[in-house]
A and B are shown apart, each in its own frame.
Chain A
């Protein structure tokens, strides 16, 4: 179940260089949304919609928060939209994160951090957000995780903010201290693969959010294929409908 329509942008800010943070008033879509789902938005002048993960859901206010990085001309076009402008949005799409018993570790890398906020907020003080960025200038959402009551561990590749190193090092240190109920992760594929490996090593359930070039966004065109091993059988499932969230054990990272 999803909605499509033109909805007004009610808040906009630039979070870091090239990262935009918009809040869209779309009560029918917000009401249906779950953490880990995504929206497909149209950029004027471009043929295909852009999939953007849902960063925050406010059902009371009827809003969805989308945080995206300018990666090409389409997202650059989207970044020019302002408060009061309408955005053509389809949401919520896909299969989101599942909640688990106990504490959660949310691991995000770069533009994989925004979908972590939605699920981390559900756990509040029972979640730790381990996030990694290239450098201090790229850091986003740290105050939001803290406002949601989560512990935060910040890592940067160059050490210009937080810990100098990768999220996987911080994750392993955390896992050595305590065993959470679940690990959620979104970010570059090598990071996801490493997180999935650590989850297996420490015997913790893990869900990862994947990306793929996409067209319809709803499971009709079968464009956004990813190789998944379910029940001992490898098959191409689809990020837009079967995902974007998959059990890390099922993902064939080298497929």
Chain B
């Protein structure tokens, strides 16, 4: 049994595997299969200040080795999260990462402040949602704005702050440096890549939003590349995600520089994916004489 504990932004996780925001709700739908205490943590469904109804369906399109989604941050709002979901999650013996998204800088700060003094272990500031008109990726594609919104949240919050980055930029390294300068304690990447599918019979996009975020194994090599670039450019830790489906994928993205890993779309194929990845990492460590999984972080030997 290897030591699977990892530390991210000063928070210790019992293992490096975290279901990604928007793919796991608040964990309720998977508890009948295995205890949530198996997980390193849960990044909960993106929470906004007020309730959001989400985008008009269809919101899902299958792609080769992946999928598009345009859910549009449907959620019950911060108050409901704090009142109904957080007490339930707090009893599950797993780290709680609150994913928050605001449509203005002030809203992001207000959301973060609402979580002060709660059971939340870490904030994941989403500046990369491709499916909303205001905020979202509009914050995450401009260095100045990304730095400013990070700074505002950092000042409003007493929690460790991770900022979730968009891959839909010219230089994710520059954005990462800006949020680091703004006071982020960690970065998580990558959010989905903007994509589109068209039904050639009807000549209509499959998604009613026309475009949506691509996830799944199709994006994994892009995620590995971006994690590697960012990990080499900033001093704060990186939480890696994007198409991670197996223990080998998790180990690969950790070698690229990720201190912990989020698992998303893989859960739709196999609801046991997070626990299979945890068990697989442990097995791999044992077979390869790795005593502590954190030893492998950033150990890729580039040419």
Residue from the list A217, A219, A225 in contact with B59, Cβ < 8 A? A225
Among the 9-residue stretches A136-144, A166-174, A185-193, A208-216, the one with 4 or more Cβ atoms under 8 Å from chain B is A208-216
Report if A216-B54 is in contact (Cβ < 8 Å); known contacts: A47-B67, A225-B59: no
Question: When chains A and B are docked, how far (Å) is the Cα of A222 from the Cα of B66?
Answer: 17
B10 adjacent to chain A (CB < 8 Å): no
Residue from the list A212, A213, A224 in contact with B61, Cβ < 8 A? A213
Among the 9-residue stretches B106-114, B151-159, B220-228, B263-271, the one with 4 or more Cβ atoms under 8 Å from chain A is B263-271
Residue from the list B25, B30, B60 in contact with A48, Cβ < 8 A? B60
Q: Give the residue among B54, B57, B271 with the most A Cβ atoms within 10 A.
A: B57
Give chain A residues whose Cβ lies under 8 Å from the Cβ of B24: 220
Report if A47-B60 is in contact (Cβ < 8 Å); known contacts: A215-B268, A219-B25, A223-B71: no
Question: When chains A and B are docked, how far (Å) is the Cα of A242 from the Cα of B89?
Answer: 22
Structural contact, A221 and B268, CB atoms closer than 8 A: yes
Residue from the list B30, B33, B54, B67 in contact with A215, Cβ < 8 A? B67
Structural contact, B54 and A225, CB atoms closer than 8 A: yes
Report if A222-B271 is in contact (Cβ < 8 Å); known contacts: A46-B62, A215-B67: no
CB distance from B130 to the nearest CB of A (A): 15
Structural contact, B33 and A4, CB atoms closer than 8 A: yes
Interface size on B, residues (CB 8 A): 38
Question: When chains A and B are docked, how far (Å) is the Cα of A226 from the Cα of B29?
Answer: 19
Chain B's interface: helix, strand, loop or mixed, by majority? loop
Report if A216-B268 is in contact (Cβ < 8 Å); known contacts: A47-B65, A221-B23, A236-B74: yes
Interface footprint category on A: 20 to 34
Structural contact, A222 and B74, CB atoms closer than 8 A: yes
Structural contact, A220 and B25, CB atoms closer than 8 A: yes
Beta-carbon contacts of B250-278 to A below 8 Å, as 1s and 0s?
00000000000000010111111000000
B73 nearest in chain A by CB position: A222
Give chain A residues whose Cβ lies under 8 Å from the Cβ of B56: 225
Give chain A residues whose Cβ lies under 8 Å from the Cβ of B25: 219-222
Structural contact, B60 and A223, CB atoms closer than 8 A: yes
Question: When chains A and B are docked, how far (Å) is the Cα of A215 from the Cα of B264?
Answer: 11
Residue from the list B22, B30, B45, B53 in contact with A236, Cβ < 8 A? B53
Question: When chains A and B are docked, how far (Å) is the Cα of A219 from the Cα of B25?
Answer: 8
B residues within 8 Å of A by Cβ?
A: 22-25, 28-30, 32-33, 45, 53-67, 69, 71, 74, 206, 216-217, 265, 267-272
Could you list 27 A-B pairs, sorted by A, with CB under 8 Å?
A: A1-B32, A4-B270, A47-B216, A47-B217, A47-B265, A48-B60, A48-B268, A49-B269, A212-B57, A215-B69, A215-B268, A216-B29, A216-B267, A218-B271, A219-B29, A220-B29, A220-B30, A221-B23, A222-B22, A222-B25, A222-B45, A222-B74, A223-B59, A224-B59, A225-B59, A225-B74, A241-B29
